[in-house]
């Protein structure tokens, strides 16, 4: 499980980069990008587990964590829209 968490930590910036590429291509509506990041994270975790004969549920969870981390990184770079109260 420790290695799955390490992999998820390394995958989060990679997923963030992929989401930025998808965002620039305008192929996916921006409101769906967090969901895409989570799905990509789970897929990457599953692929990693399959390639290295690891425990699948651990790496699916690690991929989920990576996707959620990527969503957090993505959301912190967004400029909030709305009324400025000043």
Cβ atoms of 12 and 70 closer than 8 Å: yes
**Structural domain includes residue 81:** no
Residue at 86 is within a domain: no
CB 67 within 8 A of CB 42: yes
pLDDT tens for residues 31-55? 898 899 999 999 999 999 999 999 9
In a domain, residue 84? The reply is: no
Output the CA–CA distances (angstroms, integers) from residue 29 to 24, 26, 40, 56, in the order listed.
Answer: 11, 7, 16, 30
Which segment of 13-27, 33-47, 67-81 scores lowest on mean pLDDT? 67-81
Contact status, residue 44 vs residue 66, Cβ threshold 8 Å:
yes
Domain of 55?
2-76
35 lies in some domain: yes
């Amino acid at each position: 499980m420790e290695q799955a968490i390490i992999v998820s930590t390394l995958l989060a910036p990679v997923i963030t980069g992929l989401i930025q590429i998808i965002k620039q291509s305008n192929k996916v509506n921006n409101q769906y990008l967090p969901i895409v990041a989570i799905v990509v994270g789970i897929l990457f975790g599953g692929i990693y587990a399959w390639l290295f004969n690891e425990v699948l549920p651990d790496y699916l969870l690690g991929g989920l964590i990576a996707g959620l981390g990527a969503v957090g990184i993505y959301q912190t770079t967004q400029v909030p829209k709305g009324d400025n109260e000043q």
